[in-house]
Amino acid sequence: MKALVTRLDSFGDVLLAGPAIRAVAARADTVTLLCGPRGAPAARLLPGVDDILVWDAPWVGFTPPPVGRGEVDQLLDTIDADTALVLTSFHQSPLPAALLLRLAGVDFIAADSEDYPGSLLDVRHHRAPHAHEVEAALDLAEAAGFPPADDGRPRVLPPPATTGLSGPEPYVVLHPGASVPARAWSPGRCAEAVRELAAAGHRVVVTGSAGESDLTAHVAGAHALDLGGRTGAAELTGVLAGASVVVTGNTGPAHLAAAVGIPVVSLFSPVVPAERWRPYGVPYVLLGDQDAPCADSRARECPVPGHPCLDTVTAHDVVTAVEKLMGET
């Protein structure tokens, strides 16, 4: 059986698809993961993936490309599978991807769909209303004939040694950035947390992408090691794996920390529901007002002056949460 799993959106989404992908890999001869460019770095970290197809779908992402027949034709010519699982978030439709897979000759397609799928799906599954993204994907996989192959926790391939970057353990990682501004704690609050963590005796490592190097330099200041722009996905995995606790918002590194078994202090903006997107399979502390006016709005920019859902969280709250998790492990 040649299986294909589709997850077209972001880094964290692809990580959360990992347990379902492993379930498919346990029964399929090969597994191809069809993902978008933002998810591709995560796809390369996942066990059970034999091949990766990267395609920027015009119905996904913050700046989707225009529809191009040439790009679609090239994708259809590249897909080689007889069975497919289309993984989406609760607010997304799987039907555009299912149509392309059907045109590519895929015989069996399964997805969660509230919309009538016509002949596009062989398994039209209905996800549980409040299921975490990991559990929803596993439920769909089982409905399609791929029962769980293990404990169902997010996992990644063994990371490289990164002590040369991070320095010796123990340390706490603070990752201040987020792909969506509404999900990020303010830089000033992050810098305060670094100072208070350092004052409490914790060595702090600040991480971020190359585009976040000004942010990480500001947050690290003179009190933390600044690794902004110095880690790709694999190196970031190694740095997170060496941490005692990771402090971050609802963004990819929260799920990457969970995938290497590290507790997370989650500064969680309620623009999406925590029950679906919280760190999965590890101890965590959720900080942030989950009943704020922005709750469930899926806003990218905070619609409330002062960003109260997160900026009411103090540096002291973060230090307390870090030490609570360290005491539990």
3-state secondary structure (DSSP) of residue 69:
helix
Query: What is the amino acid identity at position 13?
Result: D
Q: Residue 157 burial by CB count (10 A; 0-12/13-18/19+): exposed, middle or buried?
A: middle
pLDDT in tens, 63-91: 889 998 999 999 999 999 999 999 998 88
Contact status, residue 265 vs residue 322, Cβ threshold 8 Å: yes
Q: Read off the pLDDT band of 171 (50, 70, 90).
A: very high
Contact status, residue 40 vs residue 54, Cβ threshold 8 Å: yes
Q: Read off the pLDDT band of 61 (50, 70, 90).
A: confident
3-state secondary structure (DSSP) of residue 7:
strand
pLDDT in tens, 230-250: 999 999 999 999 999 999 999
Kindly report the average pLDDT of the chain as a whole number.
Answer: 94
What are residue 218's phi and psi, to 5 degrees? -65, -45
Residue 12 has pLDDT above 70, yes or no: yes
Q: So what's the pLDDT on residue 304?
A: 81
**Per DSSP, what are the bridge partners of residue 34?**
6, 53
Q: Which fold has domain 163-328?
A: Rossmann fold (3.40.50)
What are residue 264's phi and psi, to 5 degrees? -130, 130
Domains 2-143 and 163-328 share a fold: yes
How many C-beta atoms lie closer than 10 Å to residue 91's C-beta?
A: 9
3-state secondary structure (DSSP) of residue 111:
strand
Task: Decide which of 91 and 122 is more confident.
Answer: 122
- Kindly state the DSSP code that residue 169 receives in the 8-state scheme: S
Gap between the Cα atoms of 219 and 228, Å rounded? 10
Q: Which of 17, 4, 235 is nearest to 134 (CA)?
A: 17
Best CATH choice for the domain 2-143 from the list 3.40.50.720, 3.40.50.2000, 3.10.180.10, 3.40.50.170: 3.40.50.2000
177-185 mean pLDDT: 86
Domain ranges in the chain are 2-143, 163-328
Q: So what's the pLDDT on residue 271?
A: 86
Q: So what's the pLDDT on residue 329?
A: 67
Gap between the Cα atoms of 207 and 251, Å rounded? 13
Residue 299 has pLDDT above 80, yes or no: no
